[in-house]
Amino acid sequence: MLQQNYKPVLLVEDDTVDAMAVEKAFKHLNIKNKLAHTTNGEEALEYLKNTDNTKPGIIFLDLNMPKMGGIEFMKVIKADDNLKKIPVVILTTSKTEQDRVKTFDLRIAGYIMKPMYQNSLIEMIDKIHQYWEMTIFPDDY
């Protein structure tokens, strides 16, 4: 996805099936980037703060999760000088205006509704991959 070093993709998703679907899509599309999976905002923060882990090139973020939801998580990382530059794409079932407004206010890079069908998901991931592939990240990202 992200050319130079194939930066990892962080998936923050609490539903097993939804997470599996994304993994399967990656496999199907032969995406080289590593997919890291955390099941809620707290876990995701831990992952990001852990210096052993490479900073992901993009975060796929679900909104409704236990312990720390998507919006809460976003507020935290957007307040962090180091983490705020990571592009975030929301992958959610929620269509509500409030969620859209709040997330856009927090400067997301995309808001996508989780599809019912695997094929549709594969299509979407493909598009996202093709798009972000073109981006050149700064050297000291």
Partner 1 sequence: MAVCIVALFLAGAAFIAWQWFGIRSTMVHNLLTQARMIASNSKAALSFKDAEDAKGVLQSLKAEPSVVFGGIYTKDGETFATYNRNDYELWKVKPGKLQKKGASFNKEFLTIFEPIAVEAEETGTVCLRSDLVPLDTMLKNNISIMFTVLLVASLVAYLMSSGLQGIISKPVLDLAKIAKIVSEKKEYSVRAAKHSSDEIGILIEAFNEMLNQIQKRDFALVNTNEELEKRVEERTTELRQEIVVRRKAEEELAATVKKLAISNRELREFTRIAAHDLKTPVRGISILSDWISEDYAKKFDIIGRENGRLLAVRAKRMNDLLDSIIQYSQLTLTDYKKEKLDLNILVNTTIESINSPDNIEIIVENKLPVIFGVRKFISQIFENLLSNAIKHMDKPVGRVRIECTEEDDYWQFKISDNGPGIEERYFDKIFEIFQILSIRDETESIGIGLPIVKKIIEMYEGRIWVQSTPGQGSTFFFTLPKKESEEIEHAAAELQTGVIG
Q: Give burial (CB, 10 Å; 0-12/13-18/19+) of 74.
A: buried
Q: Whole-number minimum distance, CB 72 to partner 1, in Å? A: 17
Length of the chain: 141
Residues contacting 37, CB < 8 A, separation 6+: 11, 13, 19, 23
Between residues 15 and 126, which has the closer beta carbon with respect to partner 1?
15
Between residues 64 and 130, which has the closer beta carbon with respect to partner 1?
64
Between residues 30 and 51, which has the closer beta carbon with respect to partner 1?
30
Q: Whole-number minimum distance, CB 71 to partner 1, in Å? A: 15
Residues that bind partner 1 (CB under 8 A): 15-18, 21, 24, 64, 93-96, 114, 116-119, 121
Q: Is 137 helix (H, G, I), strand (E, B) or coil?
A: coil
